[in-house]
């Protein structure tokens, strides 16, 4: 039996998670990216929350935290769900992307089997997608959807929730994008008054090091990081060998 209702621990208020075979409301399966993982999610018109399966959380080693107000899951016939004694006690913070929607979402962790991810009313209200239930398509506007009170203070997989606002700092950059823009306080190495830079004698290096050096020069000239010049100053190149080379 699949879980279809949530029964709150204190008030016993019934909240539908999803129905068996879509008999009570409509469902559409869509591809989403959870953090850095590509997977599938079930859009459910009757789900009162956003849910992620316990199995998905454990498999991907996603950090979870305890809910301040846990509640119980019940089956369609009113019997308690056997997963975690029928209780939803933890939540997970995961960054989700679907087309132009991108946001940090708090997911309640539940024992569910038909879908690892369930997108319910909180996501439907926030993203406000255009859904064609006949063709089973979900469209999102051209603007990126941001977090709200219901979709907030969360963390992408691998990034703790408390650092979510600094997620750009964790993004890998390459070439020119990896360097900061020039500023008025760019670092300068001043020369000691009365001292002149030295010119070291030319010395031989191995063929392997010469090949590495030439490759480094060619790549950085192409990127614009270095340029040819004439100078009386000369210093040796330091080679730092990588592990296993």
Residue 156: which residues within 8 A CB-CB, separation 6 or more? 35, 36, 94, 95, 104, 164, 167
> Which residue in 20, 52, 71 sits closest to 123, CA to CA?
52
pLDDT score recorded for residue 173? 64
pLDDT score recorded for residue 110? 86
What span, in angstroms and rounded, lies between the C-alpha atoms of 167 and 40?
24
pTM value surpassing 0.75: no
Query: In the structure encoding, which two tokens stand for residue 220, read together?
Result: 């950085």
Count of other CB atoms within 10 angstroms of residue 29: 14
What span, in angstroms and rounded, lies between the C-alpha atoms of 226 and 220?
6
pLDDT score recorded for residue 119? 92
pLDDT score recorded for residue 83? 62
Give the burial class of 164: count Cβ atoms within 10 A of its Cβ; 0-12 exposed, 13-18 middle, 19 or more buried.
middle
pLDDT score recorded for residue 25? 65
Query: In the structure encoding, which two tokens stand for residue 236, read together?
Result: 């040796």
pLDDT score recorded for residue 41? 92
3-state secondary structure the chain: CCEEEEECCCCCCEEECCCHHHCCCCEEEEEEEECCEEEEEEEECCCCCCEEEHHHHHHCCCCEEEEEEEEEEEECCCCECCHHHHEEEEEEEEEEEECCEEEEEEEEEECCCCCCEEECHHHHHHHCCEEECCCCEEECCCCCECCCCCCCCCCCCCCCHHHHHHHHHHCCCCHHHHCCCCCCCCCCCCCCCCCCCCECCCCCCCHHHHHHHHHHHHHHHHHCCCCCCCCCCECCCCCCCCCCC
Query: In the structure encoding, which two tokens stand for residue 46, read together?
Result: 């009757």
pLDDT score recorded for residue 201? 82
Residue 201: which residues within 8 A CB-CB, separation 6 or more? none
Domains along the sequence of the chain with CATH: 3-170 (2.40.70.10)
What span, in angstroms and rounded, lies between the C-alpha atoms of 20 and 24?
8
pLDDT score recorded for residue 15? 44
Tens of each residue's pLDDT in the chain, 245 residues:
343 333 333 333 334 443 333 345 688 889 999 988 889 999 988 777 898 999 999 998 898 999 888 887 654 445 565 666 667 889 998 989 998 888 889 899 988 776 889 998 889 988 888 888 888 888 886 433 333 333 333 334 455 656 666 666 666 666 666 666 766 776 777 888 888 888 888 888 888 888 888 888 888 887 777 888 887 788 888 888 776 65
Residue 203: which residues within 8 A CB-CB, separation 6 or more? 236
* 18 neighbors 75 (Cβ within 8 angstroms): no
């Amino acid at each position: 039996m699949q879980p279809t209702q949530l029964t709150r621990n204190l008030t016993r208020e019934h909240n539908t998670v999803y129905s068996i075979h879509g008999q009570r409301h409509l469902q559409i399966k869509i591809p989403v990216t959870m953090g850095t993982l590509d997977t599938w999610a079930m859009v459910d018109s009757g789900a009162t929350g956003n849910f992620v399966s316990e199995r998905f959380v454990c498999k991907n080693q996603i950090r979870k935290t305890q809910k301040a107000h846990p509640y119980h899951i019940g089956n369609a016939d009113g019997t308690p769900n056997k997963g975690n004694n029928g209780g939803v006690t933890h939540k997970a913070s995961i960054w989700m992307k679907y087309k132009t929607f991108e946001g940090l979402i708090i997911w309640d962790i539940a024992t569910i089997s038909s879908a690892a991810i369930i997108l319910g009313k909180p996501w439907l209200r926030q993203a406000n997608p255009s859904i064609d239930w006949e063709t089973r398509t979900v469209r999102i506007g051209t603007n990126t959807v941001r977090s709200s009170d219901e979709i907030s203070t969360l963390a992408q997989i691998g990034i703790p929730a408390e650092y979510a606002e600094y997620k750009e700092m964790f993004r890998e950059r390459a070439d020119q994008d990896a360097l900061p823009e020039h500023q008025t306080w760019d670092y300068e190495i001043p020369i000691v008054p009365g001292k002149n830079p030295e010119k070291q004698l030319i010395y031989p290096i191995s063929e392997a090091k010469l090949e590495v050096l030439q490759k480094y020069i060619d790549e950085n000239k192409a990127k614009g990081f270095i340029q040819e010049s004439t100078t009386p100053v000369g210093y040796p190149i330091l080679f730092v060998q990588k592990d296993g080379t």
